[in-house]
Amino acid sequence: MHSSRFAPMPDGGRSAGDVPAIQDTYPEDVAHCYGCGRLNDVGHQIKTYPAGDETITEFTPESYHMAIPGFAYGGLVASIIDCHSTGSAAIFQMQHAGKTVGSELSPRFVTAHLEVEYLLPTPLSEFQLVGRLIEIKGRKVVVETELSVDGTVTATGSAVLVEIPEHLFDPKV
Amino acid sequence: MHSSRFAPMPDGGRSAGDVPAIQDTYPEDVAHCYGCGRLNDVGHQIKTYPAGDETITEFTPESYHMAIPGFAYGGLVASIIDCHSTGSAAIFQMQHAGKTVGSELSPRFVTAHLEVEYLLPTPLSEFQLVGRLIEIKGRKVVVETELSVDGTVTATGSAVLVEIPEHLFDPKV
């Protein structure tokens, strides 16, 4: 059921138009996260896009990210859901304010609470994540996520994200 | 309040006697986890020990494991709590059965449900984790964890772990 969301557009993009990944619009001072920072050379560098009223992330684990042979370790599943959720919160908050992703620097969220339900072992193959907005209230956003491999949901996540105040972006201030 | 648990013993060990880390007693077929497997050369290789009626793990993050500068990314905090919880479940189940860690190969648990509460940003410094048994019922164990840095609890975790049936250890069987 998720395949259409993840099918490349005719122009090679992942979603309608030329919307960048939200992580590519994070302010430089907060773009070093191991999970999602574009400026972290050794990190996962996940990319999260708006897709209608949802958000999507694709991530391909390495063979050494195993739990038991052939399956991803639970910490990776939690990590990718976590960073997908912070990116999703930024997308949902921008949309809530009537802004388009890429029109300005993104707000930056951190996680206050994360829950992961491991439904099935997650194969060491491409993860496809879909995020949905559950609640938005001021600086707090609640996001739910489904993580699938080859169309089968193997884990779900629920996260409470809080926007970092801008004055904390730059430790020199 | 946790310092005494983590103080090295006079003989250089981490806990009373010569008890090995539970991960060093995992069967070889299930000792490759990126978070805790002793046979995963590029993984975190965490080590969890019994300490009275609790369990302890110490882990030092790398500088590139950042979220925002100076602080650990949430996925790492979740990962280390997750693998500490699977190790703790094995320790608690052995103790519940009247067995000593190291007396035989360990049972091996996977995570069914994980919750992490991020109370404060976690500094990129040594994590000290303490696990406590909440419930044990057949193959299911519930563990709660406190993660501290320099004596301050920055995150707590609650995990439901399920023992892997032995016939799943070896995919060739």
User: pLDDT tens digits, residue range A71-113?
Assistant: 999 999 999 999 999 999 999 999 999 999 999 999 999 999 9
d(CA A81, CA A35): 10
Task: Give the residue extent of every domain in chain B.
Answer: 18-168
A:B CB pairs within 8 Å: 139
pLDDT band at B4 (very low <50, low <70, confident <90, very high): low
pLDDT at B11: 44
pLDDT band at B1 (very low <50, low <70, confident <90, very high): very low
Q: Are A51 and A5 contacting, i.e. CB atoms less than 8 angstroms apart? A: yes
Q: Compute φ and ψ for A68, nearest 5 degrees.
A: -110, 160
Q: CA torsion B1→B87→B143→B91, rounded to 10°?
A: -90
pLDDT at B165: 79
| Pair type for strands B109-118 and B127-137 | unpaired
Kindly tell me the burial class for residue B56, based on how many C-beta atoms sit within 10 Å of its own C-beta (0-12, 13-18, 19 or more).
buried
CB atoms within 10 A of CB B138: 8
pLDDT at A34 over 70: yes
pLDDT at B18: 80
Give me the percent of chain A exceeding a pLDDT of 90.
83
d(CA A43, CA A34): 4
Instruction: Look up the CATH number of domain A3-7+18-168.
Output: 3.10.129.10
Query: Pick the residue with more confidence: B72 or B14?
Result: B72
User: What 8-state DSSP symbol labels residue A25?
Assistant: G
Residues of B in contact with A28 (CB under 8 A): none
User: Of A42, A113, A118, which is closest to B64 when you measure between CB atoms?
Assistant: A42
pLDDT at A38 over 90: yes
Contacting B with CB below 8 Å, chain A residues are 29-30, 32-35, 37, 40-43, 64-70, 73-76, 78-80, 82-83, 86, 110-118, 121, 164, 168, 171
Q: Which residues contact B53 (CB under 8 A, 6 or more apart)?
A: B132, B133
User: Of B29, B34, B83, which is closest to A65 when you measure between CB atoms?
Assistant: B34
Residues of B in contact with A33 (CB under 8 A): 66-68, 73
Q: Are A147 and A116 contacting, i.e. CB atoms less than 8 angstroms apart? A: no
Instruction: Looking at the complex, report in whole angstroms how far the Cα of residue B36 sits from the nearest Cα belonging to chain A.
Output: 9
Task: Report residue A29 as tokens.
Answer: 């001072």
E-strand ranges in chain A read 48-51, 54-59, 109-118, 127-137, 140-149, 152-163
Q: What is the pLDDT of residues B113-172, one digit of tens each?
A: 999 999 999 999 999 999 999 999 999 999 999 999 999 999 999 999 999 977 665 544
Partners of A110 in beta bridges: A162
Residues of B in contact with A114 (CB under 8 A): 74, 78, 114-116, 118
pLDDT at A172: 46
Helices (H), chain B: 3-6, 74-96
Residues of B in contact with A82 (CB under 8 A): 74-75, 78
User: Of B29, B32, B111, which is closest to A118 when you measure between CB atoms?
Assistant: B111
Q: Which CATH number fits domain B18-168: 2.40.50.180, 3.10.129.10, 1.10.10.10, 3.40.1080.10?
A: 3.10.129.10
d(CA A16, CA B149): 44
Residues of B in contact with A68 (CB under 8 A): 29-30, 32-33, 110, 164, 168
DSSP H or E stretch at residue A87: helix A74-96
C-alpha torsion sign, points A115, A121, A124, A125:
negative
pLDDT band at A5 (very low <50, low <70, confident <90, very high): low
The mean of the pLDDT values for chain A is: 90
Partners of A6 in beta bridges: none
Instruction: Looking at the complex, report in whole angstroms how far the Cα of residue A172 sits from the nearest Cα belonging to chain B.
Output: 11
Q: What is the pLDDT of residues B56-96, one digit of tens each?
A: 999 999 999 999 889 999 999 999 999 999 999 999 999 99
Residue with the two structure tokens 């802004």: A99
- Residue A75's nearest CA partner among B59, B79, B67 is B79
Contact between chains at A67 and B112 (C-beta distance less than 8 A): no
User: Of A33, A65, A78, which is closest to B114 when you measure between CB atoms?
Assistant: A78
Directed axis angle between helix A74-96 and helix B74-96, to 10°? 140
Contact between chains at A75 and B73 (C-beta distance less than 8 A): no
pTM: 0.90
